[in-house]
């Protein structure tokens, strides 16, 4: 499995059978490298969304229309995307699992909000915020936490899914900060590798993963902090 960080919470996951984008926030993302777009959309099979905020839905509509990739998101968000012209979707909701070609995606809890504010200033609720647990046939189980704070039922996610790879928001203000994220990883999970995200993009969130790295210093989990466009192979 190759995991490429695309800035903020956007990732490209490549396995032997699938090419997946998670939360493809490209346009307007100060951290995204435009040179990456062609590479990460070529041969794309799936787009997975954790929740409905613009910095996570991002370029989903355009990419879905361009590639025909299957969009996986909560039901309310899928219905909103359908009104934007997205036609190939697999809707789900918290606790549910969707079986796809080569992997499954389970919607788990996240402590966050989920809405879109349109140009006329109207806020549209887009269902719950989620994390996503991906089980692959011949690859490590991966958990993208979405945007969230720490919560004690993370212990149930570990019990049910035993994720080996954690994609962990650490930027503070809108998610847990680095020290709390490190506590979550060590108290509730047995990750072999943790990759921090949701930092370094906007000036009002943390710019470096330092607090998370320091908090994980005594843990057995490997912390990978790739540069934007960098690949972690697991």
Buried b (16+ CB within 10 A) or exposed e, 18-39: bbbbbbbbbeebebbeeebbee
Residues 91/74, Cβ–Cβ less than 8 Å: yes
Structural domains in the chain plus CATH codes: 2-233 (3.60.15.10)
- Per-residue tens of pLDDT for the chain, all 234 residues: 999 999 999 999 999 999 999 999 999 999 999 999 999 999 999 999 999 999 999 999 999 999 999 999 999 999 999 999 999 999 999 999 999 999 999 999 999 999 987 767 778 889 999 999 999 999 999 999 999 999 999 999 999 999 999 999 999 999 999 999 999 999 999 999 999 999 999 999 999 999 999 999 999 999 999 999 999 999
Q: What is the pLDDT of residue 60?
A: 98
Which regions of the chain does DSSP assign to beta strands (E)?
2-5, 11-14, 19-22, 46-48, 70-74, 89-92, 97-100, 103-109, 115-117, 123-125, 130-136, 142-144, 165-169, 193-197, 222-223, 231-233
Query: For residue 182, what are the CA distances in angstroms to 46, 86, 177, 205?
Result: 29, 37, 9, 17
Q: What is the DSSP string of 64-128?
A: HHHH-PEEEEEHHHHHHHHHTT---EEEE-TT-EEEETTEEEEEEE-SS--EEE-TTS-EEE---
């Amino acid at each position: 499995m190759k995991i490429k960080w695309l800035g903020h919470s956007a990732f490209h996951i490549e396995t032997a059978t699938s090419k997946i984008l998670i939360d493809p926030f490209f346009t307007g993302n100060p951290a995204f490298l435009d040179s990456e777009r062609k590479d990460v959309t070529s041969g794309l099979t799936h787009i997975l969304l954790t929740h409905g905020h613009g910095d996570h839905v991002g370029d989903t509509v355009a990419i879905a229309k361009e590639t025909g990739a299957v969009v996986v998101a909560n039901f309310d968000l899928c219905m909103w995307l359908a009104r934007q012209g997205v036609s190939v979707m697999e809707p789900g909701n918290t606790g549910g699992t969707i079986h796809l070609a080569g992997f499954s995606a389970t919607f788990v809890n996240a402590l966050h909000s989920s809405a879109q504010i349109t140009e006329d200033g109207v806020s549209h609720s887009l269902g719950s915020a989620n994390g996503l647990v991906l089980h692959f046939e011949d690859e490590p189980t991966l958990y993208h936490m979405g945007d969230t704070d720490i919560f004690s039922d993370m212990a149930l996610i570990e019990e049910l899914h035993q994720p080996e790879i954690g994609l962990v928001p650490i930027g503070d203000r809108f998610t847990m900060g680095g020290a709390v994220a490190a506590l979550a990883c060590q108290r509730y999970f047995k990750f072999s590798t943790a990759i921090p995200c949701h930092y370094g993009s906007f000036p009002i969130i943390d710019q470096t993963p330092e607090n998370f790295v320091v908090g994980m210093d005594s843990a057995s989990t490997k912390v990978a902090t790739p540069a934007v466009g960098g690949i972690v192979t697991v």
